[in-house]
Structure 1
Amino acid sequence: MTRSPRVKYITFYEDSESIPGKRTAVWELDKASHRNIVRHPVLMRELWLQMWHDIHPDAKSRFVTKAKRGPLRDEDCFWDYGKARCAWPEYCEYRYIFGDVHLGQSCRLKNSSADLTLHYL
């Protein structure tokens, strides 16, 4: 597998079977300073998803499923200069709003984040 230098990768490990009644989730973010990782938006998003999942009454699993990690906010959408379009084309679209300074600011979610968060239950 070749890794794109532009993409921030998330390495994760989840375990709820080794010790009955206990669970562990480990997240590692590539290209993030370990000192500043607690302020990193990707970690904050993952932490929010896990907390939201833990308190949601319709949660079907003990962990947030990581099989599908689409963007949840307009800030998660960005411009892919290599493909000349918004990254995550199934979730994001180019929609200019007055005041956008660069192409990445004009990439916005197609659907509401309320619909997208249901994938994490």
Structure 2
Amino acid sequence: MIRSPRTKYITYYEDAESIPGKTTAVWEIDKANHRNIVRSPILMREIWLQMWHDIHPKAKSHFVTKAKRGPLRDDDCYWDYGKARCAWSEYCEYRYAFGDVHLGQSCRLKSASLDLLFHYI
């Protein structure tokens, strides 16, 4: 895998087998200042998603499945300048609203985020 020097990567590790009855989840965010990491919208999104999963009565696993990752809110959609369109094109679309200053602000979810949340149960 070739890692782009301009991209923030999230490394996620989960372990539910080492100690019977105990689970551990670890998130590592590249290029994030560890002192200010709690201000990171990426980490806050992951923590919120895990908490939502933990309290959901239909959750089938102990951890949020990471097999399929997609945006959950308009803020997760952004403009892909290389492809000249919104990234996550299957979930996001370009929809200008008055007050948008740059292209990334005009990328919005196509469908309700509640539908997307159920991918994580």
Normalising TM by the smaller chain, what interval? Answer: over 0.9
Equivalent residue letter for 2:96 = Y
Number of equivalences: 121
| Counterpart Cα distance in 1 of 2:87 and 2:94 | 10
Q: Does 1:92 align with 2:92?
A: yes
Equivalent residue letter for 1:52 = W
- Matched with 2:25 is 25
TM score, norm. by length of structure 1: 0.96
| Counterpart Cα distance in 1 of 2:74 and 2:59 | 24
| Counterpart Cα distance in 2 of 1:17 and 1:71 | 29
* Residues 91-111 of structure 1, C-alpha deviations (whole Å, 9 max, x = no match): 110000111010000000011
Instruction: Give the unaligned 5+ runs of structure 1.
Output: none
* Residues 12-67 of structure 1, C-alpha deviations (whole Å, 9 max, x = no match): 10011111110000000112111111110000000001111111000011100001
**Runs of 4 or more off by more than 3 Å in structure 1?**
none
Equivalent residue letter for 2:86 = C
- Matched with 1:67 is 67
| Counterpart Cα distance in 1 of 2:17 and 2:108 | 38
Provide the aligned C-alpha RMSD in A: 0.9
| Counterpart Cα distance in 2 of 1:61 and 1:3 | 30
